[in-house]
């Protein structure tokens, strides 16, 4: 049956048709929907793991047990899971093991723009790159064949424009797959003596994979005009076809590691000018140049941001027109914390107290946006607590006004080990866990602190208070960020004590279905003096009209944080 399908859903469909039984992932844009879509099939198992490393190790275990297994993550998630990946390359697999890594050129929802192809090369594992949903489905299935034939984990690289674009796919039937587990110490126990014997096998495998790449249907030559030959892959292929159609020759690579040297050399011989069109790092270009072939690429197109058809047109000197624009300055519209976001009251308080705020990855990174602007650092998952430890260790005074802020899901992902360091090596900062009972930014996924599994069914639940105490933090308290007085008192007190403490700022995400909203607030125009105190929290539901505050009833959820700031009690409608 033909249907229009999101790239990520097509991967999930491919997993299903390939007979995959086990999927374990940690959510991360743009990879999240693969796991969310896969779990909708009957008789399969999928889960949210605490982080990407655990997810990949769990999938490896399932492969070892003889079932086709899978994990997905965004590009930076693969950094977390790099440790198991690099040695799984040595052990190989039992049943097929496929890993999706989703890059985010253009950084639509990421903290860096790294190119995951570098991981494939360094880990010495094959990498496939689909260019649309149909290929996402087909390549995923084929990846399992490659994994089992060559005894290797296989990386499938998605990118935002393939993961989050819908195009037409044709679906097939599921084929079940089962294998037995056989003990094999030399293959699966990677201690030096065994690993030394496995490394040559890895090198030989890469040689065989390169041979396979020469004739694999994954790589194809599309013969057109010979005045220009373009080597390309992934979504860049689509932009090339959009601009040039069949007027140039194209070598489309569906497998970008290892590269088919002879195929590339033969293609280069047929064309007058050879250009590689690839987003981010010049990985293919450098490899082609190392083959002794004259090639262009980075001289025409930048290694920054994603491509589009106009960028390709500009690079090749082709004309294109752009539409009208107004003389007015168009104000930017950056993302903001939602109306009723429980993080808002906390960040208002941290700004008021002039705290140094070491941040983390999640919706609360938006605490850095004006007018709150209450954030000093954001690096990677879990870094807030590690950085707080170092920051306060070298400057005892700093502990009196420096905090780490980290979400519930991020804390479980990789904040726990940072807290272990704080407790063990005795630093004195204040850690604030923003427990909104969900993984928010990626679109509401359950996690080990919510008590529900990926299907929303009851599951195990980490007791965050008990956990922090068990790790050796003596001062652990809970405060409600909707209650500005309560949260301010908690932050002030914990900053003043001469030991590490944890504040759990607890209030579920206002977008959760089970959260009941209160009636929108109203402003009494006679009472409002236009002092703009309520504007300091940066709520998108509040604006000024004719020097009086106005609440947008469509957005307001009645959280009442603004009312707590009004010196004239001009807000009404707060219940209880």
Partner 1 sequence: MMETKNIIIVGVGGQGSLLASKILGDLFLTKGYDVKVSEVHGMSQRGGSVITYVRFGDKVASPVVDEGEADFIVSFEILETARWLSYLKKDGQIVTNLQEIEPMPVITGAAVYPENLAEKIKAKGVKVDALDCLDLAKQAGSAKAVNIVLLGRLSHYFDIDEKLWEEIIEKNVPKKFLELNKKAFQLGKNA
Query: Which residues contribute to the site for partner 1 (CB under 8 A)?
Result: 2-4, 6, 29-30, 32-33, 108-109, 132, 160-162, 164-168, 235, 238-239, 241-242, 308-310, 320-326, 328-338, 363, 366, 369-371, 441-443, 535, 538, 540, 542-544, 554
Q: Which is nearer to partner 1, 185 or 329 (CB)?
A: 329
Least separation in angstroms between residue 319's CB and partner 1 is 10
Q: How far is the CA of 336 from the CAs of 214, 341, 365, 372, 558, in angstroms?
A: 49, 10, 10, 10, 18
Q: Which is nearer to partner 1, 216 or 235 (CB)?
A: 235
- The SS3 of residue 276 is strand
CB 38 within 8 A of CB 16: yes
Least separation in angstroms between residue 545's CB and partner 1 is 10
Q: What element of type H or E holds 431?
A: strand 430-435
Q: How far is the CA of 327 from the CAs of 115, 330, 334, in angstroms?
A: 38, 9, 21
Least separation in angstroms between residue 460's CB and partner 1 is 27
Phi, psi of 42 (to 5 degrees): -75, 155
Alpha-carbon span 542 to 561, nearest angstrom: 11
Six-digit token string for 338:
């939602």
Alpha-carbon span 439 to 234, nearest angstrom: 29
Least separation in angstroms between residue 9's CB and partner 1 is 12
Q: Which is nearer to partner 1, 147 or 160 (CB)?
A: 160
Least separation in angstroms between residue 508's CB and partner 1 is 17
User: Cβ of 486: how many Cβ atoms within 10 Å?
Assistant: 16
Q: Which is nearer to partner 1, 179 or 444 (CB)?
A: 444
Short-list 161, 168, 301, CA closest to 235: 161
Least separation in angstroms between residue 552's CB and partner 1 is 8
Q: What element of type H or E holds 309?
A: helix 309-315
User: Cβ of 397: how many Cβ atoms within 10 Å?
Assistant: 8
Least separation in angstroms between residue 241's CB and partner 1 is 4
Q: Which is nearer to partner 1, 85 or 374 (CB)?
A: 374
Six-digit token string for 556:
């307001």
Q: Which is nearer to partner 1, 211 or 222 (CB)?
A: 222
Using left for φ > 0, alpha for ψ between -120 and 50, and beta otherwise, residue 472 falls in left
Least separation in angstroms between residue 521's CB and partner 1 is 16
Short-list 476, 477, 487, CA closest to 348: 487
- Residue 292, preceding peptide bond in cis (omega within 30° of 0): no
Q: Which is nearer to partner 1, 18 or 406 (CB)?
A: 406
Q: Which is nearer to partner 1, 8 or 94 (CB)?
A: 8
> Which DSSP letter does residue 516 get?
P
Alpha-carbon span 542 to 443, nearest angstrom: 24
Q: Which is nearer to partner 1, 366 or 385 (CB)?
A: 366
Least separation in angstroms between residue 33's CB and partner 1 is 8
Least separation in angstroms between residue 26's CB and partner 1 is 14
Give the distance, in angstroms, between the CA of residue 306 and the centroid of all CA atoms in the same chain.
Answer: 17
Q: Which is nearer to partner 1, 126 or 407 (CB)?
A: 407
Short-list 243, 241, 247, 246, CA closest to 316: 243
């Amino acid at each position: 049956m033909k249907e229009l399908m999101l790239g990520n859903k097509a991967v999930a469909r491919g997993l299903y048709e390939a007979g995959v039984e086990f999927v374990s992932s940690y959510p991360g844009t743009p990879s999240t929907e693969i796991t969310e879509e896969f779990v909708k099939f009957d008789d399969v198992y999928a889960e949210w793991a605490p982080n990407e490393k655990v997810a990949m190790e769990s999938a490896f275990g399932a492969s070892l047990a003889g079932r086709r297994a899978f994990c997905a993550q965004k590009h930076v998630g693969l950094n977390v899971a790099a440790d198991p990946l690099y040695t799984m390359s040595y052990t190989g697999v039992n049943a097929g093991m496929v890993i999706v890594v989703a890059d985010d050129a253009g950084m639509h929802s990421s903290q860096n723009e790294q190119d995951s192809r570098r991981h494939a090369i360094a880990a010495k594992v094959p990498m496939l790159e689909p260019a649309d949903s149909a290929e996402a489905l087909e390549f995923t299935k084929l990846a399992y064949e490659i994994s089992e034939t060559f005894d290797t984990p296989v990386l499938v690289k998605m990118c935002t424009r393939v993961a989050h674009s819908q195009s037409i796919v044709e679906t097939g039937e599921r084929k079940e797959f089962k294998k037995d587990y056989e003990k094999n110490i030399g293959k699966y126990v990677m201690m030096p003596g065994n690993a030394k014997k496995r490394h040559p096998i890895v090198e030989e495998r890469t040689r065989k994979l390169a041979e396979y790449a020469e004739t694999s249907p994954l790589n194809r030559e599309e013969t057109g005009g010979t005045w220009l030959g373009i080597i390309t892959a992934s979504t860049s292929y689509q932009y090339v076809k959009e601009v040039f159609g069949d007027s140039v020759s194209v070598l489309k690579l569906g497998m970008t590691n290892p590269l088919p040297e002879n195929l590339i050399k033969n293609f280069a011989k047929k064309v007058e000018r050879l250009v590689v069109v690839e987003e981010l790092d010049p990985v293919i270009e450098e490899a082609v140049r190392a083959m002794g072939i004259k090639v262009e690429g980075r001289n025409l197109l930048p290694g920054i941001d994603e491509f589009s058809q106009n960028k390709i047109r500009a690079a090749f000197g082709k004309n294109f027109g752009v539409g009208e624009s107004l003389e007015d300055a168009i104000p930017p519209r950056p993302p903001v914390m939602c109306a009723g976001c429980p993080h808002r009251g906390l960040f208002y308080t941290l700004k008021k107290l002039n705290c140094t705020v070491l941040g983390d990855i999640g919706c609360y990174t938006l605490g850095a946006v004006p007018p709150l602007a209450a954030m000093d650092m954001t690096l990677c998952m879990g870094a807030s607590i590690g950085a707080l430890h170092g920051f306060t260790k070298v400057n005892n005074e700093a502990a009196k006004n420096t905090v780490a802020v980290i979400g519930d899901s991020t804390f479980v992902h990789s904040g726990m080990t940072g807290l272990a360091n704080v407790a063990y090596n005795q630093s004195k900062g204040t850690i604030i866990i923003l427990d909104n009972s969900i993984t928010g930014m990626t679109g509401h996924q359950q996690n080990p602190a919510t008590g529900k599994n990926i299907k929303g069914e009851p599951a195990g639940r980490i007791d965050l208070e008990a956990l922090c105490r068990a790790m050796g933090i003596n001062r652990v308290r809970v405060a409600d960020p909707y209650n500005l007085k309560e949260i301010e008192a908690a932050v002030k007190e914990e900053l003043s004590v001469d030991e590490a403490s944890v504040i759990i700022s607890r209030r579920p995400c206002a977008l959760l279905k089970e959260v009941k909203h209160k009636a929108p607030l109203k402003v009494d125009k006679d009472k409002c003096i236009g002092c703009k105190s309520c504007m300091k929290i940066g709520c998108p539901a509040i604006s000024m009209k004719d020097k009086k505050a106005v609440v947008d009833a469509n957005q307001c959820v009645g959280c009442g944080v603004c009312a707590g700031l009004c010196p004239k009690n001009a807000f009404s409608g707060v219940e209880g």
